[in-house]
Amino acid sequence: MSDKRIRISPSISNFREKLLARTGLKEYRIYDIFRSCIFFGLYRPSDYFWFVLHRGKRKVFYCGSDILRLPKWIKYFKATHYCENEVEQKALRKLGIEAKVCPMIFDDVKVPVSFKPSKKPHVYLTTHPGRDKEYGVDKVEQFAHLFPQITFHIYGSLGIGESSGGIKGNIIWHGFTLENEFNEEIKNYQAALRLNQFDGFSEITAKSALMGQYPISWISYPHITGASNAKALRLALNALSKKKEPNYEARKYWLKKLNESLWTILTE
């Protein structure tokens, strides 16, 4: 695989070091245009430029929102396409692009089991400033009071009128948190909550499953609780306090699946 290269969109540059380590590939340079290249993310004009200019074998791994702004002419350039779930796959198909579903995690999959039963569960979600609605924060603000036994942790945003570490009822706003601190804190929680309606396979969902927790996702995935409506979400949240053992089944499945996906993308 040493002849392959990886090009990482500047839009996901925060994942650059992780992707280089996870794939073991060298970063793409202009003199690599005749090599096989995996393009991670097609977000910007510069991404499209290098995709079109490239003369070697092309592979594209879509990261989520890049699909929503993808030019229709991309389908006319020969490439192997990968995405992370059926929602993305259907969106790409409407653009005339057939993609294989290969969920990925950009971080190391060697995450220890850390689930601890609790009658007062802690649930966490991430967001970005100005994008709270996209990440379902507005929904959490609306229904959190219905689950007084659960503490909801929101990372990446301070909320309107809140300060870092602010508390509003049973919601705690953590704001920006360094990744190593985030990883340590979520070990003490019971589930990740991902309410994005269009999304890739998020890092927090993957980490939660690998830690033996009970992640909840709007988008359906194997061995992860689906909650694409109010009833399903209510049942999923209420069930957390009844979990007595780590979710070994989900952990086992996703350890295997994530490694298989990486191998498929690198070797096909």
Per-residue model confidence as pLDDT tens digits over 122-156: 999 999 888 899 999 999 999 999 999 999 999 99
Q: How far is CA 206 from the centre of its chain?
A: 7
**What number is the average pLDDT over the span 217-231?**
96
Q: For residue 162, is pLDDT > 80?
A: no
Q: For residue 216, is pLDDT > 60?
A: yes
> Residues 105, 86: contact at Cβ < 8 Å?
no
**What number is the average pLDDT over the span 195-201?**
96
pLDDT tens-digit profile of 39-70?
Answer: 999 999 999 999 999 999 999 999 999 999 99
- Nearest-angstrom CA–CA distance, 126 and 192: 9
Of all residues in the chain, what percent carry a pLDDT higher than 90? Answer: 89
Q: How far is CA 153 from the centre of its chain?
A: 17
Tokens representing 217 are: 């996702």
Q: For residue 160, is pLDDT > 80?
A: no
Q: For residue 260, is pLDDT > 60?
A: yes
Close Cβ partners of 259 (under 8 Å, ≥ 6 residues apart):
109
Q: What is the band of 108 on the pLDDT scale with cuts at 50, 70, 90?
A: confident
Sign (positive or negative) of CA dihedral 12, 187, 109, 256? negative
Q: For residue 84, is pLDDT > 80?
A: yes
pTM value is 0.92
Provide the pLDDT for residue 166. 79
Q: For residue 251, is pLDDT > 60?
A: yes
